[in-house]
Each structure stands twice: as C-alpha cells, then as structure tokens.
Amino acid sequence: EAQVTQNPRYLITVTGKKLTVTCSQNMNHEYMSWYRQDPGLGLRQIYYSMNVEVTDKGDVPEGYKVSRKEKRNFPLILESPSPNQTSLYFCASSPSTSASTDTQYFGPGTRLTVL
Amino acid sequence: RKEVEQDPGPFNVPEGATVAFNCTYSNSASQSFFWYRQDCRKEPKLLMSVYSSGNEDGRFTAQLNRASQYISLLIRDSKLSDSATYLCVVNMNAGTYKYIFGTGTRLKVLA
C-alpha cells in the first residue's frame, strides 16, 4: 500500500531531551516536507526537501533540524525541545519536483507534547 | 495581513444545500492553488487542485480569480459526509516548494 508513515504517533517528553520523529514514504517521491499544525494558525511548513541531500527552510524552521540521506526517509530532529514545540506534526511527500502543482500525500500525524 | 485567509466558520448547512467558501491570498505571484480536506485529527487529503479556467469534480467546483486574488470552492447537494475542515493551500512563488495553508473553514452538514 502506498503510504507515508510517521513514528511515533504520540510522544510526551520533557524540555531539552533530544528527540527524532521519523517519516518514511514508499512511493519513490522526490519531494518531502514537514509541517506543524496549531489551533488558529493552521499548518505551517517547517522544512522541505527536493531530493536526497537537498533541504530548505520553510516558514518556521527555528528549533528543528532535518536530514535527507535516503530518498524514502525524512526525519525531523528536535535537538532541545521546548514547550512551544508542542504541536501536531505532519510529514508529506509529493511525486516530483518538476511541478509545484503535484499533490502532497500526508502521513497520519505525530502529536508531540513537551512538558 | 495573512498570506492566505479563510473564514473559519463553522458553516452549518442542511443536507442538500449548496455552500461556498472563499480564500484570499496576498501574493499576486502565487502560482498553484489547492483545496484540501481535513477530518478531525486526521491528515489533510487533496480535494482538488484549482486551475485558472476553473474545474469541477462531481459536486465540487473550484474557481480562481487572479484579479481579486481569491479562490473559491462550491459544494452542491451537501452530504453528511462532507462535514470536515476545508483548507486552502497556495504555492507562493514559481520554482519554490513553499506552501502556505489557510487556517481552514469548518463545515457541518446537518441531517
């Protein structure tokens, strides 16, 4: 089944404890992206990647890191999480980078709480 | 002014009604436009891309008005299953892959 998977789905952690949220897609998509969704603010793009080893900042990259060492994986790293990073996180992928009109396919989301 | 703005609703409509949502965007250079649907606590899913000439998919019609910088979504013959939040998404600049999401318009279709 074609899909985007995220792990963990739910995470409660404490301030300052490094964590990684994994994202994997099995559709051979070139483009991948991370978003956070907060009430009243909608989805905001954190980072995106056009292909392996190519990443760029979205609108809210502060406090996050990403890497794209393989085409299928795009982990989101929080080196020192803070309570303002409590949010619902979505990973998404899209078939190609030749057109920004491509559909984005979203993972099921990761609900993160930082105490 | 927000880059992409939507009326948050909720729009409460009876089954069978026609309902329309608008979404305005601030950057006149914006190139790509989409409507996504999001059910409560679930991931967004593409409903429709929006083309310059307008496009229709069954009961759903999307329109783009570049002069006034808004896109619209019309839903005819509303079903209970249409209840969801509808997200307007804009790709702001050609050649980039930065997407701006509106905060969503909530629709409740009532029996």
Beta bridge partners of A51: A54
Note the pLDDT of residue A2.
79
Note the pLDDT of residue B92.
74
Note the pLDDT of residue B95.
64
Beta strands B32-38; B84-91: pairing state: antiparallel
Half-sphere exposure of B9 (CA within 13 A, CB side): 22
> Phi, psi at residue A77, to the nearest 5°?
-115, 130
Q: Is B31 helix (H, G, I), strand (E, B) or coil?
A: coil
Decide: residue A85, CB within 10 A, 0-12 exposed, 13-18 middle, 19+ buried: buried
Q: Nearest-CA residue of chain A relative to B101? A: A43
Q: How many CB pairs under 8 A join A and B?
A: 54
* Contact residues, chain B, for A94 at CB < 8 Å: 97
Q: Which residues are CB-neighbours of A99 under 8 A, at least 6 positions away? A: none
Tell if the CB–CB gap between B49 and A103 is shorter than 8 Å.
yes
pLDDT in tens, A81-115: 999 999 999 999 998 766 666 789 999 999 999 99
> Phi, psi at residue A29, to the nearest 5°?
-75, 145
pLDDT in tens, B56-75: 999 999 999 999 999 999 99
Q: Which of A40, A100, A109 sits opposite B43 (nearest CB)?
A: A109
Averaged pLDDT, A68-73: 96
Token pair 């990259």 is found at A61
Q: Which residues are CB-neighbours of B3 under 8 A, at least 6 positions away? A: B25, B26, B27, B90, B92, B100
Q: How confident is the model at residue A16 (pLDDT cuts 50, 70, 90)?
A: very high
Closest to B10 (Cα-Cα) out of B86, B88, B64 = B86
Position B93 pLDDT exceeds 70: no
Average pLDDT, chain B: 91
Of chain A, the percentage scoring pLDDT greater than 70 comes to: 95
Residue B77: DSSP 8-state: S
Tell if the CB–CB gap between B91 and A100 is shorter than 8 Å.
yes
